[in-house]
Structure 1
């Protein structure tokens, strides 16, 4: 076994050991019909059916993840972040959602809800592609339920195994929301990483496949890279947006151009539109734009949408939306 493999396995073992210390909430909240109550005093079956209802409403949709303070009741959809060593590249993995592909069944005797899904997230702003994995919520009592989910993921080649688990302490049936103290960890040579915290998982309003997959099929891929690779564009830091386009159709794309929209802090640096000209059938092109965030930029969450359009009629070639954190001093947390 290589030295790199031994190191990766040792790190995974340490992450697994850390995950064994689970947080069990003494104040499990079950919310429905506009009111919340302590789950204690109810029944295990009541809790199981409530969790099953939330997961059923998420079938074919995203459970959007958001790092929040324990006890929070409102999701801000900000994702979760864990440190990951991607070979020689140390950076932050941003988990955006758990996409629920199918809810298999509720087994009252076993006290479990089984489902299938896949994680959605980015590393260095590039999508991490995950296969469909299996998960379960195990209802242990009237106020104790545990989420367990795992799948295989790949980022620019290497495949790694990732596991998300944690104890649930909030179920809001009306809002389609679960709250839990989570652990996310995984790896596979040469990738290893992990972290923990508290998250809210909320059922997305629309059932749709990730936008970046559809855009890639139409010929657009985009990457946004900050200077130090920590997934945060700090004040004074330079970032690079790279857009690659390919024309897989039978006719030329006329007057191809990129359009930028979203947070003013970013669009002010990139402008509203960038002309690329015509793109003949079967050919490809790329465009790279750089910007430097002003030193005075306050800390904020931002989004940037990139659209490629062409004539006639501003026909949409593809699009991608980035969500990222801006501002603060370099090195600030």
Structure 2
């Protein structure tokens, strides 16, 4: 009898085990939430440099230098965070308004700054085989290495007797050469009055040659499918790229493409409000006027959709002045 009871209890235990194991499977674990995108590290450096730049510039300087928010847009438009840009590097390292002025005067090139400082009022001149543009009306200086183009920098008279300073090369720009042609897919070669200029196409565009209505050959940097600028000032997003028509440095009909994604941002908005913005949680309108915060201790402005605060004392500058730039705030130099 004892043997029978033991077998019965063993059988009952087996049934209990089967019942316990035969229930519904527990629900699967929810997938882990993707990490929240952070603002790119370069924005903090750009914000500080732009507040210093806005605080050091004059009311008649270009808006992108007087407004910290516009300055951040300009900073981004000069290339991704890894792009080599002497002017951005110079402005990021500047500690005083005198150093900021030297950066602007030389486009980040100390040799250009010295050259232009010694030639007040000169707009364009040759420094050896370097064509130097000293800037005018708030524009930063620039330099072209003529030797790298296979040309020489010199002054030459046009057919109308006008003095032209430029990079000249009969081999690169012989008589009868088209005014514009492609140099591979990534640049346009321009020949005018014998002077050569190489214009690099922005990311997302390529050089395309075509015939004008008069049958003359020309070329320009264009979007895929030969889409061209039709309306000056138009802008729109293509994925995370910002496409602008007639950018300040491009002129009418020229396209500028800014890769927002490569800088850790995204392209948002439509029409004139299209812009590169922070990846998540936009806090402000990029057109917001800079104001004072912390009882006059800091400048508050909108940097690519993020409300940003920069301490004036942290820049070694005076208190925030709410009307330093007309309607916009800046630190007292």
For normalisation by structure 2, the TM-score amounts to: 0.21
Between Structure 1 and Structure 2, the one with more helix by share is: 2
Higher strand fraction: Structure 1 or Structure 2?
A: 1
Query: Bigger radius of gyration, 1 or 2?
Result: 2
